[in-house]
Amino acid sequence: MAGIIQAKGIRKSYKYQQGLLPIIDIDNWSAESGDAIALLGPSGSGKSTFLHLLGGVLPVDQGKLEVAGHDVSAMKESERDSYRSSAVGYVFQDFYLIPSLTVKQNVELVMPKTMNKSERTKLMDEWFERVGLQDRMNQLPSRLSRGQQQRAAIIRAMINKPPIVLADEPTGSLDFETGSSVMRLLLDMSRENGSTLITVTHDLHLAELFPVKLQFAEINSCLKGQQGRDASAALAAASPLKAAASGGWRS
């Protein structure tokens, strides 16, 4: 049975010092539907870049990448945008909630335009109650704690029940107790939705909550010797990644 994610011979490089430096080199890797994977590795090792490839934020240079029945590696940018909006839920460390909109309005932005008002209201009420924010949904993000903002961001990522959920350091800006609560919520919601969850985290204690723990060096051949150190240096200088990530969920 084919996995929901299949990566075969995928490569990604960045411009660095008048040349190209390989960042991602994955010969063969797959994930099954419903997997919950903690992706581990040092900062600058390409984990976020890998999420951006899976989510269609960045294009694959070479190889074949299939996600939830979509050949992401063959898509043009507009096709990747459409794929991401329909098949991928994104959760970021810094939330990326629009500050001038209420948290309810932030969630409404990603909901299908074809859904009528009563269905939309009922669905949002259910989700905000599930995460304990039913009395905060009409507040601006600035009126919520960071943990509450991340719960709202989880609703935004998962309310449409995407087959794939990508979380990039979702607890990185939270204290341990709040982060643990948020991570458990993310795992519970993914399991209830039947979504495949891939979470980048540096917190080994929180990683223990995941059924699957994957050291990125096990599948990424670039993380070896001097090549790995050079890749880390290049990624540390690659500022466009954050801009790409911030637009990932809105497309």
**Does 239 score more than 60 pLDDT?**
no
Share the mean pLDDT of the chain. Answer: 89
Q: How far is CA 163 from the centre of its chain?
A: 12
Strands ordered across the beta sheet of 70-71: 19-31, 5-16, 62-67, 70-71
pLDDT at position 229: 53
pLDDT tens digit sequence for 105-132: 999 999 998 999 999 999 999 999 999 9
How high is the pLDDT of residue 248? 41
What is the model's pLDDT at position 242?
39
Residue 98 has pLDDT above 50, yes or no: yes
3-state secondary structure of 67: strand
Report the pLDDT value the prediction gives residue 173, as an integer from 0 to 100. Answer: 87
Q: What is the pLDDT of residue 136?
A: 95
pLDDT value, residue 24 = 96
Domain count of the fold of the chain: 1
Q: What are the tens digits of pLDDT across the range 152-201?
A: 999 999 999 999 999 999 999 899 999 999 999 999 999 999 999 999 99
Amino acid at 98: I
Tokens of 10: 């995928």
Q: Which domain holds residue 223?
A: 5-248
Instruction: Band the pLDDT of 228: cuts 50, 70, 90.
Output: low
User: Which CATH number belongs to the domain containing residue 39 in this structure?
Assistant: 3.40.50.300
pLDDT of residue 240: 41
Its pTM stands at: 0.87
Residue whose pair of structure tokens reads 């040349």 in the numeric block: 19
DSSP count for the chain of H helices, then E strands? 9, 9
How sure is the predictor about 44, in pLDDT bands with cuts at 50, 70 and 90? confident
pLDDT at 217 over 70: yes
| pLDDT band at 233; cut points 50, 70, 90 | low
Per-residue pLDDT at 224:
77
* The predicted structure's pLDDT at residue 236: 52
* Tokens 């109650």 -> residue: 129
Q: What is the mean pLDDT of residues 204-229?
A: 86
CA atoms within 13 A on the CB side of 118: 0
The pLDDT confidence band at residue 43, using thresholds 50, 70 and 90, is: confident
